[in-house]
Amino acid sequence: MQLTGAQALIKSLEQMGVDTIFGLPGGAILPVYDPLIDSSIRHILVRHEQGAGHMAEGYALATGRPGVAMVTSGPGATNIVTPIANAHMDSTPLVVITGQVPTANIGTDAFQECDITGITMGITKHNFLVTSADEIPRAVAAAFYIATTGRPGPVLIDVPKDVTQATMQWWWPETVEEYDLPGYHPQSSIDDAGAAAAAELIAQAQRPVLYVGGGVLKSRASAQLLAFAERTQIPVVTTLMARGAFPDSHPLHLGMPGMHGMYSAVTAMQQSDLLITLGARFDDRVTGKLDGFAPNAKIIHVDIDSAEFNKIRRADVALRGQIDEALTAIDAKVINVGDYAGWWREIKGWQEKHPLAYDPQEENVALRPQAIIEAIATRSAPGTIVTSGVGQHQMWAAQHWKYEEPGTWINSGGAGTMGFGVPAAVGAKVGRPDRTVWCIDGDGCFQMTAQELVTARAEGIPIKVAILNNAYLGMVRQWQEMFYDERYSEVYLSPDLPDYVKWAEAMGCVGLRARTMDEAIAAIDQANQINDVPVVIDFRTDASEKVFPMVPSGATNDEIVVHPSQRGN
Amino acid sequence: MAVPEPFTGTTVTSPVRHHILSVLVENKAGVLARIAGLFARRGFNIYSLAVAPADDSQRFSRITIVVDAQSAPLEQIRGQLNKLINVVDIKDLAPREALERELLLATVSVDETTRPAVLEAVAQANASIVDVNEGAVTLMLAGTPTACDALERRLEGFTHVELHRTGRVALPRLSAVPTKN
Ligand SMILES: Cc1ncc(C[n+]2csc(CCOP(=O)(O)OP(=O)(O)O)c2C)c(N)n1
Ligand SMILES: [Mg+2]
């Protein structure tokens, strides 16, 4: 069968089981948009390529399948750099296809030429410049293989226009050998001696903590984690990237650790004598000042990426492999565990002394953002997927929403990309149309990518957006209040410029506004009943509200600052 | 030629705690940029780097990198390099386990008075003259980094027109214990 390179590209994506591409066409990728018309693949036409990238991420994080985005060369390609960097930091499997100027023009500063493989070298797991139409099936198959195996990540395929216009004899690489990746060996098996050594450390520990990171979600190890925790009765903390990996309602769960973590989770790690680290990477937002982090803890470190071992913190036992397999292997070796009654008594004490707290909502004052999140959580269907932007609202959404299952919390952790929330929600809803999808957004973040609500309306993707409108770049304001003597520099945004309701309506969405708790409840219920168009609610929240607890940057986790109502406890 | 003593001291081209990585890579466009970019963005220092095709089919190249094992733990450097998809194999060699060689080419200005001294330096270093004209000689030394350093220092007393070194390549010493790779 003779195909054009463009036809081969679309056919290759079909072979990989792709059902959705997020993208926007242009000169260099034009040939590929033609056979797309005849394909079963759904294309979602975004309004900005950054939207395509974050949608693909949202899709991937909600479904566990790789997200696919396609854009043109030059500015189309550079517009998707931020999502690629974001996916790289959060190990999200993406395949990004960029058009490129014709091979003969590469290196001549041709119209809309840019060296996107060079630009993205450090922020992709791998990238390819395809130089002949014959190579397209191999490049696509290899890209998906690399993106989804081992530690997942973004892979970019750059395809010059003459390559998509050329013809080729269709073929398909049936085996991994044909992918021609002599340097890539993602398979791993758990080292038996390592598992035994880990079990030995667990047997000796008196104050162990299961430090659960995003890798647990990536390796779909939640069931094994639950079984392991229940059998051993070891307390669990889930990082920002792992919310949902262990049910928040479970009594063994202490919640999120880190800069804005639960007091009990942060302190249990500090006081621990063994951190059983599962797919987590000792991020500075978790460790605080490194010299003071968990000073008496031994470390078991389980990860698929052995380069994480000893990168930040020395591991006493390092086990490379899938986390579910590692847990099963360790579980088989753990004969007896310690008596953690004393450890749990201490933890319970911290939990009682320092639960998550905020000032109660009073009448006639601006809305408490935490109360809004709790109201949405209790009034939305079980299994609702939450996405967020980056800022205070993100931290409150991570703290106050109770996540019960994997894939229900989608955010930008490693990169902290403002504007992630709305497009990620669109992608999540496309991947999981059966679920309610709420984006908990900030007013600053909303303004960065709101245009994708036009996409959502046009494509019939009914997401719900809660803007926690504090009229500020609130997280930055909080730092200026606490660490810069309340000298506010360039953080004020205004509550009503833009008018979010009118803006939502102009984008074909339902726009609502809430200033009181009664209005908020009514708006939330109304939004949850609307299932054909996107809804945006402008919640007028209190600008002075701060995220607590907080470990100031540069401080050790022992210096955690709790909510004012708990100081002196 | 007799096997020289293992190198332990400092040379012009490497720090005290250097390490040699012999990296087999796919011979694809941009591979060198990937490696250089990785070292730059992770703050690993490279002291020298030599690249050449590693097989007849030109499918693979070998890159010999002398790294500063003080700028980052060797385990990190190896681990991050290993994640590059085009990197096929990494062997690391501690200096004492490695047989290291390097090529030095230098063109030195000579006149009636300096010629004998230059020739003496060449003879003593076991170097050879590979080109001459009235005012200059070009000499070559294939030797240990220390020998190259010594010759380079010796030539500092003369007017060099140009001096180039290739950066070292290395193989495990046959007498050395097998290194992990
Ligand atoms: C693209 C980008 N630019 C800047 C920042 C720095 N930053 C982090 S949080 C934040 C404020 C976000 O404001 P908003 O969306 O209103 O959220 P809030 O903190 O008020 O809830 C800023 C500017 C960032 N994370 N991302
Ligand atoms: Mg704000």
Domain at A2-179, CATH class: alpha beta
What is the pLDDT, as a whole number, of residue A79?
98
- Of B79, B86, B89, nearest to A306 by CB-CB distance is B79
Angle between helices A49-63 and A421-431 (to 10 degrees): 50
Write out chain A residues lying below 8 Å of B83, CB-based: 125, 305, 307
What is the pLDDT, as a whole number, of residue B6?
38
What is the pLDDT, as a whole number, of residue B2?
39
CA dist A155 and A39 (Å) reads 23
Cβ of A250: how many Cβ atoms within 10 Å? 13
What is the pLDDT, as a whole number, of residue B7?
42
What is the pLDDT, as a whole number, of residue B68?
86
Q: Are A146 and B85 inside 8 Å of each other by CB?
A: yes
Active site residue A475: yes
Q: Where in chain A is the domain with CATH 3.40.50.970?
A: 2-179, 369-540
Q: Where in chain A is the domain with CATH 3.40.50.1220?
A: 192-353
- Quickly state the pLDDT bin for B181 (edges 50, 70, 90): very low
The larger pLDDT score, comparing residue B95 to residue A275, is at A275
- We find that the CATH architecture of domain B17-93 is 2-Layer Sandwich (3.30)
3-state SS assignment for residue A33: helix
- Of B30, B38, B88, nearest to A117 by CB-CB distance is B30
- Smallest Cα–Cα separation from A389: which of A424, A361, A359? A424
**Both tokens of residue A318?**
């390092």
3-state SS assignment for residue A206: coil
* Segments making up each domain of chain B, as ranges: 17-93, 99-172
CA dist A362 and A213 (Å) reads 37
- pLDDT of residue B176 exceeding 70, the answer is no
Fold equal for B17-93 and B99-172: yes
Work out the percent of chain B whose per-residue pLDDT is above 90: 69
Residue position matching structure tokens 């990169």: A415
What is the pLDDT, as a whole number, of residue B58?
87
pLDDT tens digits along A40-60: 999 999 999 999 999 999 999
- Smallest Cα–Cα separation from A94: which of A130, A70, A118? A70
**Both tokens of residue A452?**
């994708």
Q: Which residues contact B89 (CB under 8 A, 6 or more apart)?
A: A183, B23, B24, B181
- Smallest Cα–Cα separation from A548: which of A522, A566, A530, A524? A566
Q: Evaluate the CA torsion angle A64, A407, A423, A510 in order and state its sign.
A: positive
Reading chain A (569 residues) residue by residue, the pLDDT tens digits are 999 999 999 999 999 999 999 999 999 999 999 999 999 999 999 999 999 999 999 999 999 999 999 999 999 999 999 999 999 999 999 999 999 999 999 999 999 999 999 999 999 999 999 999 999 999 999 999 999 999 999 999 999 999 999 999 999 999 999 999 999 999 889 999 999 999 999 999 999 999 999 999 999 999 999 999 999 999 999 999 999 999 999 999 999 999 999 999 999 999 999 999 999 999 999 999 999 999 999 999 999 999 999 999 999 999 999 999 999 999 999 888 889 999 999 999 999 999 999 999 888 889 999 999 999 999 999 999 999 999 999 999 999 999 999 999 999 999 999 999 999 999 999 999 999 999 999 999 999 999 999 999 999 999 999 999 999 999 999 999 999 999 999 999 999 999 999 999 999 999 999 999 999 999 999 999 999 999 999 999 999 999 999 999 999 999 999 999 998 87
Active site residue A241: no
Tell me the three-class secondary structure of A144-205, residue by residue. Answer: HHHHHCCCCCEEEEEEEHHHHHCEEECCCCCCHHHHCCCCCCCCCCCCHHHHHHHHHHHHHC
Q: Does residue A369 have its Cβ closer than 6 Å to ligand 1?
A: no
CATH superfamily of A369-540: Thiamin diphosphate (ThDP)-binding fold, Pyr/PP domains (3.40.50.970)
- Smallest Cα–Cα separation from A293: which of A19, A551, A32, A30? A551
Select from A396, A399, A473 the residue to mutate for testing ligand 1; criterion: most ligand atoms less than 8 Å from CB: A473
CATH topology of domain A192-353: Rossmann fold (3.40.50)
Which amino acid is it at A338?
G
CA dist B166 and B100 (Å) reads 12
What is the pLDDT, as a whole number, of residue B16?
58
Domain at B99-172, CATH class: alpha beta
pTM value is 0.95
Whether A277 contacts A215, CB under 8 Å: no
- pLDDT of residue B11 exceeding 60, the answer is no
Q: Does residue A450 have its Cβ closer than 6 Å to ligand 1?
A: no
According to DSSP, the β-strands at A274-278 and A298-303 are parallel
Phi, psi of B167 (to 5 degrees): 85, 150
The larger pLDDT score, comparing residue A213 to residue B6, is at A213
CA dist A413 and B172 (Å) reads 44
Atom of ligand 1 lying closest to residue A369 CA: 21
Tell how far the Cα of A446 is from the centroid of ligand 1, in angstroms. 10
Whether residue A296 lies within 8 A of chain B, CB to CB, comes out as no
- Count interface pairs A-B at CB distance under 8 A: 43
Q: Give the mean model confidence (pLDDT) for residues B89-109.
A: 92
CA dist A77 and A84 (Å) reads 10
pLDDT tens digits along A490-514: 999 999 999 999 999 999 999 999 9
